[in-house]
Amino acid sequence: MLQYTRLENLLFIDIQTVPIVKSFDELDEDYKKLWERKSKYFREELEPAEAFEKKAGLYAEFAKISCISLAYLRMEDNRFHLRMKSFYGHDEKQVIEDFRELIVTYFNQRKYVFCGHNIKDFDIPFLCRRMLINDFILPHKFNYSGNKSSQPHVVDTFQIWRFGDYKNYTSLRLLAKSLKIEHPEEFLEANQVAGMYWKDDDLEGIKEYCQRDVITVAQLMLKFKRFELLEEEHIQMSE
């Protein structure tokens, strides 16, 4: 896969998700019962309320998108530069609409492929589900009819690093550390992002965390393809 991948055609993407309400108690009674039913398969010894706080952000029926960061590489002065834009806020529908408009306007051609860490199993399916929940028509790049052959084509660094070993799970932090790529000292867990959103109202912090993940994935792909890694001056943020 790597030898046929053009870095200029990759759209590096990461999303950050948070529970749709601050706590389990704020769900209506129907949603409480539905969460109890869904979470019984994974909450282990946790009570439904505690499981909601720790895990609801992983499930599109009980969570929303607070930030989407998108970036791409361009060759300038004989080395790659990264350009990035983030969409974030409390209004999920507006976040998705702005992101969707950018994709449809500039990146809807077949040659552009989404790239991220574990996006095949999380980010892309979650984003598709939330688009439908918010009454958006899926852009061409997200067309998905339910069978394996129709899945959106992605480059997933999580899958690349598996090399076919389906017993292996490697986090983005561990993979970056193993390949000697600089990364933030702290990678947040899903429930920590929820706390930043619902307790601290720290959307800027969530955006910065999302952008760091995107930068790390871009560095991984540069490393895989044996190009120079990005320095801070090679990263441009768009407003």
Span 120-129, pLDDT tens digits: 999 999 999 9
Q: Is pLDDT at 130 greater than 60 in this prediction?
A: yes
Q: What is the reported pLDDT for 187?
A: 63
Q: What is the reported pLDDT for 145?
A: 52
Q: Is pLDDT at 161 greater than 90 in this prediction?
A: yes
Q: β-strands 79-88, 154-156: how paired?
A: unpaired
Rounded to 5°, angle at Cα 236 from 231 and 239: 155
What Cα–Cα distance (Å) separates residue 88 from each residue in 21, 45, 96, 209? 17, 34, 9, 12
Q: Is pLDDT at 150 greater than 80 in this prediction?
A: no
Q: What is the reported pLDDT for 140?
A: 84
DSSP letters spanning the chain: -GGG--GGGEEEEEEEEEESSSSGGGS-HHHHHHHHHHHTTT-TT--HHHHHHHHGGG-TTTEEEEEEEEEEEEEETTEEEEEEEEEESS-HHHHHHHHHHHHHHHS-STT-EEEESSIIIIIHHHHHHHHHHTTPPPPGGG---SSGGGSPPEEEHHHHHHTT-TT----HHHHHHHTT----S-PPPHHHHHHHHHTT--HHHHHHHHHHHHHHHHHHHHHHTT-PPPPGGGEEEE-
Q: What is the reported pLDDT for 97?
A: 98
- Percentage of residues of the chain with pLDDT beyond 70: 92
Span 37-87, pLDDT tens digits: 999 988 888 999 999 999 999 999 999 999 999 999 999 999 999 999 999
Span 167-195, pLDDT tens digits: 888 999 999 999 999 876 566 666 789 99
Structural domains of the chain, ranges and CATH numbers in brackets: 2-18+67-238 (3.30.420.10), 21-61 (no CATH)
Span 2-39, pLDDT tens digits: 778 899 999 999 999 999 999 999 999 999 999 999 99
Q: What is the reported pLDDT for 142?
A: 84
Q: What is the reported pLDDT for 148?
A: 54
